[in-house]
Amino acid sequence: MEELRKTLRVPARYRAFLQEADPLDVETVTPVERVRLIPSEKLAAEQQANGGDSSLAGWRKSWILIARSALLGDPYFLDISKLDAEGDCPVFTCMTGTESLKPELCASSFQQFLRILATSMEVASGFGESGLDDDDEAIFREALAPKIKTIDSAALRAGHWT
């Protein structure tokens, strides 16, 4: 952990998460997204392979990759330039494969990001795992929206989850 703090400037809240619940093989699954969290042992390598070496045009040094979409491969990352007093910072995503990266807010803090993921999985438990169509996805998003609003209204307004 100390090495991650020094080399990547991993914020305190995220380090505490890794120390308590290192996501060795964790993927959240919902009808609209699959988020695969990156374990601490692979964190440094992921930074180099996916932005730290500027392979993604527009990737910033203040972004720490913490997860990927298992569907599209898009990154989920902390923006440590917006660190708060509690050692937490917002989580963003962006589409890869485009000319420029346009960060989209997923959660105002890492703590809220985890709550949104957990809530999304709770809402998803009412949906079957196969045979989902566009209507099912729309129903899922409609069911999720009011729950996200209570967790993080800024994330709801940003629209990534809905």
**For residue range 101-129, what is the model confidence (pLDDT) as tens digits?**
889 999 999 999 999 999 999 999 877 66
Beta bridge partners of 104: 93
Domain segments of the chain as ranges: 2-158
For the stretch 66-96, pLDDT in tens is 999 998 889 999 999 999 999 999 999 998 8
Distance CA 26, CA 30 (A): 13
Amino acid at 37: L
What is the CATH architecture of 2-158? 3-Layer(aba) Sandwich (3.40)
pTM of the model: 0.90
